[in-house]
Structure 1
Amino acid sequence: MTAIVVDGPDQTMSVERIPVPRPLRGEVLIRVAACGACHTDLHVMRGEYAFPYPCVLGHEVAGQVVELGEGVDHLAVDDRVVASFVMPCGMCGPCARGDDNLCERFFGLNRARGVLYDGTTRLRRSGGEELAMFSAAGLAEYSVIPATSVFRVPDSVPLESASILGCSLLTAYGAARHAADLRAGQTVAVVAAGGVGLGIIQLAKIFGASRIIAIDIGPDKLETASRLDASEVIDVSDRDPVGRVRELTSGKGVDVAFEALGTPRTLEQAFMMTADGGTTVLVGVGSGDAAASIPLTHLLRHQVRIIGSYGGRPRTDMPLLLDMAASEQFDLDSNISLRRPLTEAESVYSALAAGSITGRAILTSVS
């Protein structure tokens, strides 16, 4: 099969032919229809996120089941499916209490060592060299995934487009529903209107936010945010976003400010535009050991709550997101601005790094 391999930090992504993997007990082999290009992959490619090389990235995957491992009985061959980027083991303490997104074995095995839950990878080069797997390793024509993170896609939902449910919209849902516990009538700011930020905007509207302010750089991203239910937009290239949010809210700030980029500066801005007693939600994945400076007296005096949000809870949230997509509560295609074949991964990630992609780009199967 064709796969995209990264040999080390800041190295070119190579298009290679490697053996098709096989699923073991509790796993599913899918033929990948599409895989989203996410900023978290960029952190690994740049060496900003500790991960073993050589590796295959790609954690936002949809496709069709071609083989079931032993013990998998809730899926069938030919099922159209989407996978969550967090692959819950279903057995550790966090999984047992419903916090799938904090799965200890996922972080200890997959995200630390690039292996699945038996401690080995399913991927190898043609010469036998092991390839680490970042989540599902979806930048390939076939992917082996733990069945606990694989969900049927309704026939009415386009399969390629469904891929973005696996990370960007699952992450947006976790931030809006669980971290913020967003309520009808609240005011919202979304700092960075990329793939995750656009998802937060749409979900905030569905959950009844009375006002949604989108903040980013450049007209293209902000025009898309306006089309996807943002009440107002702020271009940070020509005005102070904190001052403008305060101006739009009569000096009060917003009830919930979501930071969806992962930089110290944008988190500090989100915090300072949060109203008294409000919540700042950190959603964007930062690079390395990046740290923000938060004024302690302001935090104390204004009783602002800061909370981190990592993805959603796959086993409970993904079925809800699939129902929402099937009932057309949001339009998946409106979040996707670029579709390219898998073999063009290098150029797509270069565009992502340059900030020239609006919303989400997806890489589609070459088979």
Structure 2
Amino acid sequence: MRAQRLDTRTLTFEVTDVPVPTPGPGEVLIRVAFCGICHSDLSLLDGTFPAMGPAVITQGHEASGTIAALGEGVVGWEVGDRVVPAAGRPCGRCPHCLRADYGHCTALQLMAFAYDGAWAEYTLAQALGLTRIPDNVSMEQAAILADAVSTPYGAVVHTAELKVGESVGVWGAGGVGTHVVQLARLVGATPIVAVDLDETVRQRALDLGADLALDSRDPELPAKIREITGGLGLDAAFDAVGLAVTFEQALASLGNGGRLVGVGMSAEELRLGPSMMFNLSRAQVRGHLGYEVADIGVLARLVSTGRLDLSRSISGVVPLEDVGEGIRRLQERDGSPVRILVQP
């Protein structure tokens, strides 16, 4: 089969021929339909996020496809089933895994970082991490459920514990932030403020449910947020960028007792400011990563029933041989993409 192979020592990659993997016990072989290109993939390519597994690895962790073969002991699945594999698997050895509490694994292995991903014609996945995809959900939209939508869902529902009627700010309305805006609206947040440097991205956020979209360089940004929240500040803010400047701006926009959820990641150090002011504000800062496997099923139902529209989330599709072009488009923000997909 054809697969992209990244050498994590030299940070170079090529699309080449490799053997089709064989599913082991509890695993399935998936014929990949589509796989997203994520900013996490770029972090591995530039060395910001260190590799967790073999020196040479196949990238791609937002996949959809059909089951091509079943490993020993797999039940409940058949060849041809439309599925999305989880973008990680529990270690099976930590104290949580030993008592079957896999959702709290302390050494989670990340797909495309610790083991081969899905920028390939086929990929392996644990049967326990599969989600069945309804027939009326496109395989393109199904692919991005595995991170680009499920990670924001986890941030909104689980980490922020967002409630109906709470005010929300989203710093960075790109691939992750776009879906934070949509999901915050879906759970009843109001008002929703999107903050981004890109005018095109700000307009898209408005089209998808934001009540106000602001340029982070606007000197009136704090005053405008206070005005739209009736002088209270935000109940919840999401930093989908992960830079010090976005983190600090989001933190400063919180109302008393507000929550800041860090979703974006970088190598920059973050500061909370003077302890007196932080404590007096009763602000909460919560880090977020990933999602629960069950979240993908919830999102698939929301798309299937028309509650969640992801039609504007697919910004382009490139063949596997042109994965480098897809990476370039995301790196350079060419066309302000939400998600670019690889089609093996």
C-alpha contact (below 8 Å) 1:9/1:45 kept by paired residues = no
Q: Secondary structure at the match of 1:6?
A: strand
CA distance in 2, matches of 1:339, 1:210: 34
Aligned equivalent of 1:307: 286
CA distance in 2, matches of 1:240, 1:3: 49
CA pair 14-88 structure 1, distance change in 2 beyond 3 A: same
Q: Which of residues 154, 172, 175 is equivalent to 1:174?
A: 154
Alignment of 1:179-218 (within 5 A): 179-218=159-198
Deviation of 1:170 (Å): 0.8
Aligned equivalent of 2:332: 354
Aligned equivalent of 2:69: 67
How many correspondences in the alignment? 339
Moved more, 264-273 or 149-158: 264-273
CA distance in 1, matches of 2:171, 2:113: 32
Matched, 1:266 2:268: no
What percent identity do the matched residue pairs reach? 35
CA-to-partner distance for each residue in 1:264-304, whole Å, 9 max, x for gaps? 221111111111111000111223xx311111222101000
Deviation of 1:90 (Å): 7.0
Alignment of 1:150-299 (within 5 A): 150-239=130-219, 241-287=221-267, 290-295=268-273, 296-299=275-278
CA distance in 1, matches of 2:179, 2:71: 33
CA pair 188-90 structure 1, distance change in 2 beyond 3 A: farther
Alignment of 1:69-84 (within 5 A): 69-84=71-86
Moved more, 242-251 or 270-279: 242-251
CA distance in 2, matches of 1:270, 1:74: 45
C-alpha contact (below 8 Å) 2:62/2:147 kept by paired residues = yes
CA distance in 1, matches of 2:207, 2:113: 41
- Deviating above 2 A after TM superposition, structure 1's stretches of 4 or more consecutive aligned residues are 8-13, 86-99, 102-107, 110-115, 236-252, 355-358
Alignment of 1:334-353 (within 5 A): 334-353=312-331
Aligned equivalent of 1:30: 30
CA distance in 2, matches of 1:83, 1:104: 20
Structure 2: unaligned runs, 5 residues or longer: none
CA pair 269-350 structure 1, distance change in 2 beyond 3 A: same
CA distance in 2, matches of 1:76, 1:308: 38
CA distance in 2, matches of 1:307, 1:9: 33
Aligned equivalent of 1:122: none
CA pair 112-81 structure 1, distance change in 2 beyond 3 A: closer
Q: TM-score, normalised on structure 1?
A: 0.86
Deviation of 1:222 (Å): 1.2
CA-to-partner distance for each residue in 1:89-148, whole Å, 9 max, x for gaps? 677544557562x423424xx579824xxxxxxxxxxxxxxxxx2xxx111110001112
Matched AA of 2:17: R
C-alpha contact (below 8 Å) 2:112/2:118 kept by paired residues = no
CA distance in 1, matches of 2:170, 2:189: 12
CA pair 16-189 structure 1, distance change in 2 beyond 3 A: same
Matched, 1:317 2:295: yes
RMSD of Structure 2 on Structure 1 (CA) = 2.1
Q: TM-score, normalised on structure 2?
A: 0.92
